[in-house]
Amino acid sequence: MAAKNFGCRVVNRSKSPVVFMILFALLMFSMLADSIVSKISLESAAFNQKRDYQALQSPKVVRNIKRNVVFPLPLTVSTQNKIIRVDNEHGIGKFRRRRLPEYEIFTSDELTKKFHGRVLEFFNHGCEVHFFMTWITKVGSFGRREIMAVESVFKSHPNGCLMILSRTMDSVQGYRILKPLLDRGFKVLAVAPDFPFLVKNTPAEAWLDDMKSGKKDPGEIPLAQNLSNLLRLAVLYKYGGVYLDTDFIVLRSFKGLKNTIGAQSIDVVSKNWTRLNNAVLVFDMNHPLVLKFIEEFALTFDGNKWGHNGPYMVSRVVRGVEGRAGYNFTILPPMAFYPVDWMKIGSFFKLPKDSAGWRWIEAKVWQLKRQTYGVHLWNKQSSKLMVEEGSVMGRLMGENCVLCKHVYSS
């Protein structure tokens, strides 16, 4: 028994160093792992703390309740991803950061540098009348309503020329949209405009510089709308011609018009105009009134008031120069371009409910054919309205189209 017990004690003693080494190794591994985890946690916390501190200290991003981002300028424009990139050195001005593809129009590139030559070449083909439109939004939005407006130009002016100033339409997709008209022999071309070239040596040149440097706030109104307001003036001043909005249906020839703007509304008693509109402009090259429009746009620009840089702007200028020597122009009554008020445009799209309504349609169509150059559709109010067959617009579109597809889905 003693020997047996002694044998057991010998065996236990012989195993002790092995067990001790295993326990010691486990202890050291546990301490090492705990140290590593602690270090990682500390470094992660330090990094997060530093990142949070930098975010609090950075002036680049301040979120407001409208989910827009405010940042200091000057800015540069990325033509690849169509977003504004900040150069945070001076922080000259602030405005809300948005995805603004229309900012591409501020830049000149290899395509836009060909603009002037393309304009001269295009209008050097016996054009009866020179027309311009602008399109400062995505090409996919140029739909049936806009095509109908283009068709109406050529219905009344088969030998006219229409240039659409648009970077997005000056593309393969834009060409496909216009191809049915080109196949019919009509002269229509989408051209990417050279905005810096067009405003050079005009009061708008400084406005453009201020906008690019961040000194000028584009405001809450969609910038494309205000860019179109300026672009139409710049191109008419540079080349002369007829500007039309893309929601204007032409009903008769513009050949007899010269240096003309239309009244949107008149005083019912005095018959004097109360507001003009810039959806239709007909002016010679270098006309002093157009230069005055550009000057007023640049000096009083406000991107937060609807119409301030468009209809209200031309109204302010004309009211100030009307009757003064050196400004020769004509103001046509509302029936010429704006025969229906924007609040009543819906009546032109609907079928009548009774015989009196049918008689009204017949009388209205007869009147428009004889007294109106075209109808402004006030697209903001009417874009979602369907053209009902037999309605005023159904009749007018059906008689003033050249392709005549999708008239009742425009």
Interval 152-209: pLDDT, tens: 999 999 999 999 999 999 999 999 999 999 999 999 999 999 999 999 999 999 999 9
Average pLDDT over residues 105-126: 90
Cα 311 from Cα 317, distance rounded (Å) = 10
- pTM of the full structure: 0.76
> Could you read off the pLDDT of 289-347 as tens digits, one per residue?
999 999 999 999 999 999 999 999 999 999 999 989 999 999 999 999 999 999 999 99
Give me the percent of the chain exceeding a pLDDT of 70: 73
Kindly state the tokens that stand for 102. Answer: 């229309």
Give me the percent of the chain exceeding a pLDDT of 90: 66
Cα 153 from Cα 132, distance rounded (Å) = 11
Predicted local distance difference test score (pLDDT) of residue 346: 94
Using the predicted structure, report yes or no on whether residue 59 has a pLDDT greater than 90. Answer: no
**278 contacts 260 by C-beta, under 8 angstroms:** no
Element (H, E) at 82: none
Predicted local distance difference test score (pLDDT) of residue 24: 57
CA-based nearest residue to 279, from 160, 376, 405, 176? 376
**364 contacts 391 by C-beta, under 8 angstroms:** no
CA-based nearest residue to 247, from 102, 395, 397, 391? 397
Using the predicted structure, report yes or no on whether residue 388 has a pLDDT greater than 80. Answer: yes
Cα 247 from Cα 379, distance rounded (Å) = 6
Using the predicted structure, report yes or no on whether residue 60 has a pLDDT greater than 70. Answer: no
Using the predicted structure, report yes or no on whether residue 406 has a pLDDT greater than 60. Answer: yes
Predicted local distance difference test score (pLDDT) of residue 22: 59
- In the chain, what's the furthest Cα-to-Cα distance? 137
Domains annotated on the chain, with CATH: 104-335 (3.90.550.20)
Buried b (16+ CB within 10 A) or exposed e, 376-391: bbbbeebeebebeeeb
CB neighbourhood size of 144 (10 A): 14
CA-based nearest residue to 116, from 193, 61, 53? 193
Predicted local distance difference test score (pLDDT) of residue 38: 44
Cα 68 from Cα 96, distance rounded (Å) = 6
